[in-house]
Amino acid sequence: MTARVKICGVTKAEDALACLEMGADALGFNFYPKSPRHLDLETARDLCAKLPPFGLRVGVFVDSEFEEIMEAVKTVRLDTVQLHGNEPPEIAEDLLESGLRVWKAIRVENMESLIPYEDYPCDALVLDAFDPKTPGGTGKPFDWRILSQWKAPRPWILSGGLNPDNVTEALENLTPSGVDVASGVESAPGKKDPDMVRAFIQNAKRELALV
């Protein structure tokens, strides 16, 4: 199986380049204004202009309108959109029809959290931890045992509270197509720690290769 690792909440060009050099397959750029990792379009555009032509560029949005998302896609040259709010299926369908890759994040509280998204139009699901106050980036994992009887309707990515120390355990017990980390490899919000990024990618790719 091809190992896939997304480093999310990147805010600096030097961090982005380092993540790619260490083997990250995707970089996440957060366009949610309330996030401590938020980027405005000008900053994101300038950052991405310094990147090589490999690695997915994932824009993370929370309840944004279609036009707002498309403006970011065109300005930053995103190829993937991650919907992290309560976006209706129609927005996802419109994004797919525009030729974009779409990932839908689910805040997992229990098995019932997963049911409404079995037919959601997207390329992959991102399973994140539930928090009543924030749509993501909590740094806390959800109870992975919830997934023991779950039959994934499409490829899925494990997120929520992952770090270099627990990603191995996660992948020994679960079979996602990839993993997604933000705060688990940071020295401060939005500042990636190169040693933690390297350890996370090495541990994740080693385990994913065994799946």
pLDDT at 211 over 70: no
CA dihedral sign, ordered 132, 136, 140, 145? positive
pLDDT at 28 over 80: yes
CB-neighbour burial class of residue 205 (10 A; exposed 0-12, middle 13-18, buried 19+): buried
Query: Would you name the residues annotated as active-site residues?
Result: 8, 131
The whole-angstrom separation of Cα 172 and Cα 164 is: 14
Q: Is the pTM of this model over 0.75?
A: yes
* Residue pair 183/10 in contact by the 8 Å Cβ criterion: no
- Average model confidence (pLDDT) for the chain? 93
pLDDT at 163 over 70: yes
Higher-pLDDT residue of 1 and 178 is 178
The whole-angstrom separation of Cα 155 and Cα 157 is: 7
What would the 3-class secondary structure string for 76-99 be? HCCCEEEECCCCCHHHHHHHHHCC
- pLDDT band at 24; cut points 50, 70, 90: very high
Domain boundaries, the chain: 5-208
The whole-angstrom separation of Cα 159 and Cα 187 is: 19
Alpha helices in the chain (DSSP H): 13-21, 41-48, 66-76, 89-97, 167-173, 194-208
The CATH topology of domain 5-208 is TIM Barrel (3.20.20)
Q: Please state the length of the chain.
A: 211
156-158 vs 178-181, strand pairing mode? parallel
- pLDDT band at 206; cut points 50, 70, 90: confident
